[in-house]
Amino acid sequence: MLLSKQKVALESLVSRQFAGKLLLRNEIQLEDKQFEQFLADGVLRPSPSIVKQLFSAICQRCGNRKKYLFGRIPCKQCNQNHLYCRKCIEMGRVMECEPLYYWNGKEVVWPIIDQPCTWEGELTALQQRASDRIVSAITNKEKELLVWAVCGAGKTEMLFPGIAEALRSGMRVCLATPRADVVQELLPRIRNAFKFVNIQGLYGGSEEKTGNAQLIISTTHQLLRFKAAFHFLIIDEVDAFPFHNDPSLPYAAKRSLHSTQSTTIYLTATPRRNQQLRLWMKQLPHVFVPSRFHGHPLPVPILKTCTSLKKDIQNNRVPYSLLNWMRKRISPHRQLLIFVPTIELVEQLYKNSLVQLPQQKLLTSKNRIMCVHASDPERKEKVQLFRGKKIDILITTTILERGVTFPSVDVAIIDASHRVFDEAALVQIAGRAGRSPDDPKGEVVFFHNGKTNSMVHAIDAIKSMNKRGGFI
């Protein structure tokens, strides 16, 4: 009898850790004896990791079907060559001879939290309308809802009542976003708004690994490890790379839903064509927030032609048009975000600026300028220094195009005609300026060597949002 009670207690403890997961054996932190016992009892179930079909194979973790994204590797245990999936290998190698495991024991009952939200702020009328619509989607068990809100509308705060409603109903919640930087920014804000709720942040390199909290903030890639987990799923920046062009991420998001009655909320400031088509065909319910929370319009970018942009940078010069604009900025006290299309150009422009900007009296100290990109090991620290106003100028790639907030910045895009700057990226980058009610009029400049459709459409989109917000 005692052994039976201990077994039930152990199973209950382990269920919270593994329920809603799809894991490799090396991700399951159980001793072999316990693991084998759970398999024998049927509370852990193996599932093929790669399913072979007549002329193809399918990875059961990421849904990959592309032949060139499968490889073969010798297996030490089987002494055979086995298929493995190269598509999701960063999450741990999936091989055809090693199954994935999922929890098949008693379903976890998540606590009902009566007053989960400790945020004391107030929503604007437009934010409240969107927030009420989100709550309605949850209570009515709607399948999906798109929240289309301009950059700086305060989408995170709009989510608080919906998250609170889900927690009051004993639901499990995940807010997934494409980039680790955004998870790191959101995590303290959400924890401050839900001080008594168990919240975990999951991203590559995060200290928290278990992913067993009731409220999860994660990158979309982390959803590859979940199955039938969440009653309420929020996909932030649904239009952003890599979510919009990587089929494995929508596949993982759909599989992570607890049931067909789970609700998914999509957040975006720049819906893609396929989403706009679904809106037009009335296939996707949505709510639209046309203005920023502080009631000021979005800054409209200015176009400046500079035919020798890349040549100047490669020849150890800061482009003259950029220097000239910096001298004439309306508010030179603002910090400056400079976006550049490639890492190589970021580093070269940074070196040039270290020499020329102090000479031009546009920089008081070399310590007041930095550059950052995805491969930078000090990426997080530099962003924090910029946020804390310890540096004046930050040169960056598109890693900071969305999901980060700085209170008072001007924005410059160098070589805005580069293909990396599509319409959505340009709108998002422009949205970094003017986000604070204390300084809502940041400047945005597109420096280019030839106007593109993306630039024209981005400016038209921003003007359209301002018109719909009543500013034109």
Whether the per-residue pLDDT at 3 is higher than 70: the answer is no
Q: Residue 7 pLDDT > 70, yes or no?
A: no
Q: Give the C-alpha separation, 265 to 259, whole Å.
A: 15
| pLDDT greater at residue 281 or residue 199 | 199
Q: Span 433-441, mean pLDDT?
A: 94
Helix axes of 180-193 and 379-387: crossing angle, nearest 10 degrees: 50
- If you average pLDDT over residues 432-452, what whole number do you get? 95
- Whether 1 shows a pLDDT value over 70: the answer reads no
| Residue partners of 464: CB distance under 8 A and separation at least 6 | none
Overall average pLDDT of the 183-200 stretch: 95
Among 3.90.1150.10, 3.40.640.10, 3.40.50.300, 2.60.40.3140, what is the CATH number of 125-289? Answer: 3.40.50.300
Domain boundaries, the chain: 2-103, 125-289, 302-468
pLDDT-derived band at 72 (thresholds 50, 70, 90) equals: very high
Residue 255 Cα distances to 22, 231, 233, 351, 443, angstroms? 10, 12, 11, 46, 43
pLDDT digits (tens, 9 = 90+) for 78-90: 888 899 999 999 9
Which residue did the predictor score with more confidence, 14 or 453?
453
Average pLDDT over residues 15-32: 91
pLDDT digit string, tens, across residues 409-418: 999 999 999 9
Residue 455 has pLDDT above 50, yes or no: yes
Domain boundaries 302-468, corresponding CATH code: 3.40.50.300
At residue 5, does pLDDT exceed 60?
Answer: no
pLDDT-based confidence at 8, cuts 50/70/90? low
The residue-averaged pLDDT of 27-43 equals 92
Q: Look at phi and psi of residue 415 and say left if phi exceeds 0, alpha if psi is from -120 to 50, else beta.
A: left
Residue 6 has pLDDT above 60, yes or no: no
pLDDT at 98: 93
Reported as a pLDDT band with limits 50, 70 and 90, residue 13 is low
Q: What is the pLDDT, as a whole number, of residue 2?
A: 39
Tell me phi and psi for residue 352, to 5 degrees. Answer: -60, -40
- pLDDT value at 10 more than 70: no
**How would residue 179 be classed by pLDDT, with cut points 50, 70 and 90?**
confident
For residue 404, give Cα distances in angstroms to 117, 268, 312, 337, 377: 23, 14, 30, 12, 18
SS3 content of the chain, % helix, strand, coil (to 5): 35, 20, 45
Banded model confidence at residue 366, pLDDT cuts 50, 70, 90:
confident
- Report which of residues 380 and 302 the model is more confident about: 302
- What's the burial of 387, exposed, middle or buried (CB within 10 Å: 0-12/13-18/19+)? middle
How high is the mean pLDDT of the chain?
Answer: 92
Contact 224, 88 (CB under 8 A): yes
Q: Write down the pLDDT at residue 241.
A: 81
Query: 177: which strand partners?
Result: 219
Beta strand segments in 391-465, E = 393-396, 409-414, 444-448
pLDDT-derived band at 207 (thresholds 50, 70, 90) equals: confident
Report the number of secondary-structure helices (H) and strands (E) in the chain.
13, 19
Higher per-residue confidence, 76 vs 65: 65
pLDDT at 215 exceeding the cut of 60: yes
Residue 240: pLDDT band by 50, 70, 90 thresholds?
Answer: confident
| 53 CB-near residues (< 8 Å, 6+ apart) | none
Residue 167: burial class (beta carbons within 10 Å; 0-12, 13-18, 19+): buried
Domains 125-289 and 302-468 share a fold: yes
